[in-house]
Structures are given as structure tokens and as C-alpha cells.
Amino acid sequence: MVGPADTILRLDCSPKGRDANSSQFADEVAVKLSALEPGAWQVHRDLAATPPSFIDRGFTRDMNLFPVAAVASVTQTLRESEKLIGEVESARRILIATPMHNYTVPAVLKAWIDQVVRVGRTFESTPVGKVGLLPDRPVHIVVSAGGRIVGDRARQPDFLTPI
């Protein structure tokens, strides 16, 4: 049984599977992260092979209805969201390997973000802005792009890497 923050969660987002540039580079990063976190379980999600669901009507209806503690048991509509959030909560570190698609994240990564970034559960809106509710942890992101996305010679928008 995996306990709190006992894992390294890896997300691969390229449709190219093992041929992906991002995944091959992430393999090397993963080795280094394992050395930093001895004893951590590796949890691997290939988001392209098994994409998260797009959020649906039930999700938007129920995401505000229940107190945080009751969400998982009360509603089926947020079950997938709870599972994916649970994987984040269990992670000491997160490694995301992603290509740029049309200047931004691939649709499968956006689908994961929409499942995991949930008001009242992983962040809250306050008078001073949106505030995260989960403890911070390192997130390592490997990005692969066909064109230049950084530096003076970049000639395309980049909605993926700016913070």
C-alpha cells in the first residue's frame, strides 16, 4: 500500500509512446530522481495511451456541491478526479514529459489538468487570488518542441513553458 508522498509520479503525454523525444529524455531524468528519492515507488501514467476523461456536465454540477472530505464517497462523478488527485497527493515528486502541440500542452495533458485542478479541492479562490491547497512538491517538466520556443530566435508563441 502506497502511503502519503511515497511515490514519484510520472506522466507521459506524447502520442509517440516509447519513440517520443520527451519520454526518452524523461527516462534519464527519472533515473536521477530515483537516486534522489530512494525507496519511492514509481507511478507511471501514459496519458496518451489512456487519456483522462474530459470533464463533463456531472463534474461541473457536482464539483461545488460537497465539502472536500465527503466528495470521494458521495459522488461518482468526481471519482476519476479524486483518483488522479490522490496520485498527486501521494507523490514526493512529479515528472511530466510532454511535447508542444499547437503552441501549448497536448489535449491529454489539459484533460489531466482539468481533472486535478479543482476548486475547493486542490485550490481555493480568495480575495487575493487563487491559492493552492496541496503542499508544494517539486515538479520536473521535460518539454519537446519541433521549433524554437526559447531565446531570441524563437518565432512562435509559447503558451506551454512561461510561468
Ligand X SMILES: Cc1cc2nc3c(=O)[nH]c(=O)nc-3n(C[C@H](O)[C@H](O)[C@H](O)COP(=O)(O)O)c2cc1C
Binding flag, residue 147, ligand X (CB under 6 A): yes
Alpha-carbon torsion, ordered 69, 75, 78, 82, to 10 deg: 40
Among 5, 6, 16, 29, binds ligand X (CB under 6 A): 16
Question: Cβ 156 to ligand X, closest distance in Å?
Answer: 6
* CA distances in angstroms from 84 to 11, 53, 68, listed in the order given: 11, 11, 15
Which of these segments, 54-62, 65-73, 78-86, 93-101, binds ligand X (CB under 6 A)?
93-101
Amino acid at 89: E
Q: Which lies closer to ligand X via its Cβ, residue 13 or residue 63? A: 13
Amino acid at 81: S
Binding flag, residue 93, ligand X (CB under 6 A): no
Amino acid at 136: D
Residue from 102, 92, 96 nearest 46 by CA: 96
Which of these segments, 50-58, 72-80, 110-118, 138-146, binds ligand X (CB under 6 A)?
138-146
CA distance 114 to 31: 29
3-state secondary structure at position 11: strand
Which of these segments, 15-23, 58-66, 75-83, 114-122, binds ligand X (CB under 6 A)?
15-23
Binding flag, residue 21, ligand X (CB under 6 A): yes
Q: Which lies closer to ligand X via its Cβ, residue 77 or residue 98? A: 98
Binding flag, residue 161, ligand X (CB under 6 A): no
Residue from 9, 8, 58 nearest 36 by CA: 8
Binding flag, residue 146, ligand X (CB under 6 A): yes
Q: Which residues bind ligand X (CB under 6 A)?
A: 14, 16, 20-22, 99-103, 144-147, 156
